[in-house]
Amino acid sequence: MCSVAALCCVNQYFICRGCPLILLPPFADEIKPDGKPYKRVTMEEAKRGTPPDRPVRVYADGIFDVFHSGHARALMQAKRLFPNTHLIVGVCSDDLTHKYKGFTVMNEDERYDAITHCRYVDEVVRNAPWTLTPEFLAKHRIDFVAHDDIPYSSAGSDDVYKHIKDAGMFAPTQRTEGISTSDIITRIVRDYDVYVRRNLQRGYTAKELNVSFINEKKYHLQERVDKVKRKVRDVEEKSKEFVQKVEEKSIDLIQKWEEKSREFIGNFLQMFGPEGALKHMLKEGKGRMLQAISPRQSPSSSPTREERSPSPTFRLPFFSKASPPHHSGARGYLVSEDDDEDDES
């Protein structure tokens, strides 16, 4: 035993196995008897609490194959039965278990080791008996036996704990529903093909799994088919997501189109409706056209010649100041519009 373990151990109930920082409960056959006289405590004394150096010794036994949370909860209840409890756990051997209950998944050494790693356990009894005898109870100085209250029929008995109950040494615990070793094995057997394929993928050989050559090929084919199915499901899910996005976009576009169409219709009615801007524009244009084509009213009297504005004068192109007079004696004239009017008159 290492120095750290020696400082932490009390009455040699814990020993160190390899690591000085981890203390595991010892096996009962490794503990030396202290030689102190043993007197069993009553239920009242145990509930009131015992001295620190005299814990209530509670025994719980079982197979503990494929150790699970139901086992741990049962041991937790046994540990918490009394304020000061020393929990002893008995584990049956492979021979007894195969004889009275059936084949196990884990061998006895694996089951012993699993129990030592449960934090509620203070001591482990290897090769525990199937039926508890007075000699066994006295040897391990057991005060109470913890187990669920359901009658346990086995080895030709309707209840192997009946004599313990009659002696007032039985402390009942509650089973955890929905979890048991049989339930776990049933799940594996029910989905046998799934787990065989799983282990084949993880590198186990068909020989290790006791699978024939034909079944091995069948499982590999099923795995490839499942991969194709998974890909198809992935494509379907992605297609559904795409369709959903398209629908959302379509709804959004339809809503925008409706808003734009309402806006267009409103603008159209404002322009071409009964009271639209086009009607007012046509009315205004019609008024201007009528005003433009209607004749103006003639004045009452014509203006006199003096009142007229002087008309611009024009010089005939063939007369100029610089040109000399012709031999015919003609002289140049300035002709104006007024002169033309006088001539006409």
Same domain, 238 and 163: no
Q: Where are the alpha helices (DSSP H) in the chain?
A: 3-8, 43-48, 69-79, 94-100, 108-116, 134-139, 162-166, 181-190, 192-201, 213-272, 277-293, 337-344
Residue 73 belongs to some domain of the structure? yes
> In the prediction, which pLDDT does 315 show?
54
Q: Return mean pLDDT, the chain.
A: 81
Q: At what angle do helices 213-272 and 277-293 cross, to 10 degrees?
A: 30
Same domain, 74 and 167: yes
Q: What is the reported pTM?
A: 0.61
Residue 218 belongs to some domain of the structure? yes
Same domain, 61 and 74: yes
Same domain, 69 and 174: yes
Judge contact between 117 and 141, C-beta under 8 A: no
Residue 99 belongs to some domain of the structure? yes
Question: 125: closest CA among 10, 56, 30?
Answer: 30
Interior CA angle at 164 toward 54 and 55, to 5°? 10
Same domain, 65 and 148: yes
Residue 149 belongs to some domain of the structure? yes
Same domain, 136 and 78: yes
Residue 138 belongs to some domain of the structure? yes
Same domain, 189 and 231: no
What tens digit of pLDDT does each residue of 207-234 get?
Answer: 988 888 898 888 888 888 888 888 898 8
What tens digit of pLDDT does each residue of 58-98 get?
Answer: 999 999 999 999 999 999 999 999 999 999 999 999 999 99
What tens digit of pLDDT does each residue of 250-269 get?
Answer: 888 888 888 888 888 877 77
The domain of 191 spans 181-210
> In the prediction, which pLDDT does 117 show?
95
Q: What is the tally of structural domains in the chain? A: 3
Same domain, 88 and 146: yes
Residue 332 belongs to some domain of the structure? no
147 beta partners: 172
Low-confidence ranges of the chain (pLDDT < 70): 1-22, 155, 276, 278, 295-345
- The torsion of the CA quartet 42, 48, 54, 60, rounded to 10 degrees, works out to 60
> In the prediction, which pLDDT does 303 show?
57
Q: What is the DSSP letter of 27?
A: B
Same domain, 162 and 72: yes
Same domain, 49 and 174: yes
> In the prediction, which pLDDT does 181 show?
94
Question: Which percentage of the chain shows pLDDT scores above 70?
Answer: 77
> In the prediction, which pLDDT does 126 show?
97
